[in-house]
Amino acid sequence: MKRKIYLDNAATTSVDKDVTEAMLPYFSGTFGNPNSLHFFGREAAKAVTAARDNIAAMLGCKPTEIYFTSGGTEADNWAIKGIYNANKDKGNHIITSKIEHKAVIASCKRLEKDGAKITYLDVDKYGIVDLEQLKKSITEGTLLVSVMTANNEVGSLQPIKEIAQICAERKVLFHTDAVQAIGTVDINVKRDNIDMLSLSAHKFYGPKGIGALYIKNGIKNDRYISGGSQERGMRGGTTNVPLIVGMNVAMEKAIRDMDINNKKLSYLRDMLIKRIESEIPDAFLNGHRERRLANNANFSFKYIEGESLILMLDMQGIAVSSGSACTSGSLESSHVLSAMNVPAEITQSATRFSFGKDSNEQDIDYIIENLKNNVTTLRAMSPLFAQQKGEPINV
């Protein structure tokens, strides 16, 4: 059978076996609606309460501060739009960064149409936000600062503790999209002064379609989905019992094994970075060398285009993704790399390798071998490569 290597764990992860097992009884056996008074409902409600309590404890907050959502995108939408709509009498300004996930950026763009003023903070060439610019940007009318814990494309870790500190001093709410960070970055919302946080189960070996928004008690946020009394009346819709149970088990395992996983992941990441840099000329690491997610390596290969490289790797059984949005159907190049001022000709070939718990050292040999061949093939085909070798082009 052809070898298959999954190196796209930043896009999604496989569901852990223990997670699947934990969820199964809640589909057909304990299937009740947690809002029902009867035994079936009470059993389901017990499971949800236990999951909520445990997730809250792992994040360092109270169970009443956890709101289950359909995932990270919904949590981000709620955090941004909810705060704006519930507090627009106090101001209309939101600060975010240029490298946020589309869920945050698109929510902000939507609010601009309603009259919100949005500041998109710059990042340095490593994809890390500018704290001085943040301090200068906060005004009387600033309602919220939203900066991600870790970037999904280049893995850059943001100084969220410092940002939270600045926000606390200036009495501005702070939200962080921690979708890429849970299970990899040590977060405690109380200790770290975080007011709101988004998370998504499928990034840490949980199921797709479930996530949560932590909202610190006392914060005025809008009811997000009109409906029943679920999530303390803030988010209607029948509680997704099996997925909540699964998310809890996944998160518990991810946080329990975080140190050991990070050690392995960063070892593999650093080995891949070292080998690409020593074996493939004109390959450039995007993002910060140390301040990056343990499982993320993002490289640009000069003179070639990313989609071709990704398709070639795919034919060889290696699943990676583009740092640029080109392959996902849009022709725009990555807003993250643009914000980092990576030259356009290099952003085109940005390729993200994101390791997971099943990755191993032998994978790296196979990746390097194929990567080298593909880059050579595509460069031989590239007019840009011919030019830099000094071959004249007589047009």
Partner 1 sequence: MYNDKVMENFKNPQNVGEIENPDGVGRVGNASCGDIMEIYLKIDDDIITDAKFKTFGCAAAIASSSMATQLIKGKSIDEAIKITNKQVIEELEGLPPKKIHCSVLAEEAIKLAIENYKSKKASNI
- The site for partner 1 (CB under 8 A) is made up of 303-305, 307-308, 311, 315, 326-327, 329-331, 333, 344-345, 348, 380-384, 386, 391, 393-395
User: Active-site positions?
Assistant: 326
- For 39, other C-beta atoms within 10 Å of its C-beta total 10
**270 vs 345, beta carbon nearer partner 1:** 345
**114 vs 314, beta carbon nearer partner 1:** 314
Beta carbon of residue 376, minimum distance to partner 1 (angstroms, whole number): 13
Beta carbon of residue 305, minimum distance to partner 1 (angstroms, whole number): 5
> Given the structure tokens 């149409």, which residue do they identify?
113
**107 vs 347, beta carbon nearer partner 1:** 347
Question: Cα-flanking dihedrals φ and ψ of residue 175, to 5°?
Answer: -115, 140
Q: Which helix (H) or strand (E) holds 43?
A: helix 39-59
- Report how far residue 256's alpha carbon sits from residue 151's, in angstroms, rounded to the nearest whole number: 23
Of 313, 306, 232, which Cα lies nearest the Cα of 34? 232
Beta carbon of residue 9, minimum distance to partner 1 (angstroms, whole number): 22
Give, rounded to a whole angstrom, the gap between the first and last alpha carbons of the chain. 48
Between the alpha carbon of residue 281 and those of residues 263, 299, 320, 351, 371, the distances in Å are 28, 12, 20, 15, 12
- For 15, other C-beta atoms within 10 Å of its C-beta total 17
Beta carbon of residue 318, minimum distance to partner 1 (angstroms, whole number): 15
**89 vs 391, beta carbon nearer partner 1:** 391
Decide if 295 contacts 265 (C-beta within 8 A).
Answer: yes
* C-alpha 257, offset from chain centre: 19
* Structure-block tokens of residue 376: 């050579």
Beta carbon of residue 383, minimum distance to partner 1 (angstroms, whole number): 4
Question: Cα-flanking dihedrals φ and ψ of residue 200, to 5°?
Answer: -140, 130
- Report how far residue 293's alpha carbon sits from residue 284's, in angstroms, rounded to the nearest whole number: 17
**14 vs 382, beta carbon nearer partner 1:** 382
Beta carbon of residue 207, minimum distance to partner 1 (angstroms, whole number): 26
Question: Cα-flanking dihedrals φ and ψ of residue 231, to 5°?
Answer: 50, 50
